[in-house]
Amino acid sequence: MKVVLISTPGERPNEVATVESLFAAGLERYHLRKPGWKSAQVALWLESLPARWRDRIVLHAHAHLAPCFRVGGIHFRDDGEAPEDPALGVTPGCLTSRSCHDLAAVKAALGRYDSIFFSPVFATLSKPGYGPAPGHVLDELRAVLAARGSAEKRTKVFALGGVTAQGLPVCRTLGFDGVAILGAVWNAADPIAAFLQFQSASQRLEHKSV
């Protein structure tokens, strides 16, 4: 299963250095989500990250910075503003992703976006009291994911919300292609070690499925 990491929403000491180490350890995508930040703050963060890593960054805001820093992707919120055709107006070569909180949004995004986050799957670690999704919703989602055609399978579906390394087998059973993590890594005493646990658990699942 694929593993992507979402940033904490505010300032974090040594974040860029930690992200560099995570990329070196195998992290493929880092979602830079700083909802309170202005464009200049995001630009400064990107400037501090060596250029060789920037194509692994997915911006959650200030998409106009994408061509300047040659980031890897743009993410859209589930707020009614996510475009039906995300390729329009997006920098060529940028991956597109969006958040989804219900089945209607998932069905509308399949085959159009490169990836989507569905949440919350479990009780979240970063937002106490939020989630998880009702069991019948997850059962319906599993049926939708299992019925995807070839065009819809181009959209990778990630589980978000309370995902732990131990929960990866459940996510696989539900039909997710990967997981998006936040609290399980950033709340850990050693974020890099926490990510490596996910990476190892993901690799074990891949070996079992071969």
Please state which of the ranges 2-11, 18-27, 28-37, 75-84 shows the lowest mean pLDDT: 75-84
Q: Residue 21 and residue 7: Cα distance in Å, rounded?
A: 14
- CA 97, distance to chain mean position in Å, is 8
Residue 3 pLDDT greater than 70, yes or no:
yes
Q: What is the pLDDT of residues 92-143, one digit of tens each?
A: 889 999 999 999 999 999 999 999 999 989 877 666 666 667 778 999 999 9
**pLDDT at residue 73, rounded to an integer:** 96
Of the candidates 64, 50, 59, 18, which has an alpha carbon nearest to the alpha carbon of residue 189?
A: 18
Which residues have C-beta within 8 Å of that of residue 137, sequence separation ≥ 6? 102, 103
210: pLDDT strictly greater than 60? no
Are the CB atoms for 117 and 176 separated by under 8 Å?
no
Residue 9 has pLDDT above 90, yes or no: yes
Beta strands 95-100 and 115-118 are parallel
pLDDT at 80 over 90: no
CA-closest candidate to residue 36, choices 66, 14, 7: 7
pLDDT tens string 134-159: 778 999 999 999 999 999 999 999 99
SS (H, E, C) 81-103: CCCCCCCCCCCCCCEEEEEECCH
- What pLDDT, on the 0 to 100 scale, is given for residue 140? 94
What is residue 14's predicted lDDT score, i.e. its pLDDT? 95
pTM for this predicted structure = 0.93
Gap between the Cα atoms of 149 and 131, Å rounded: 29
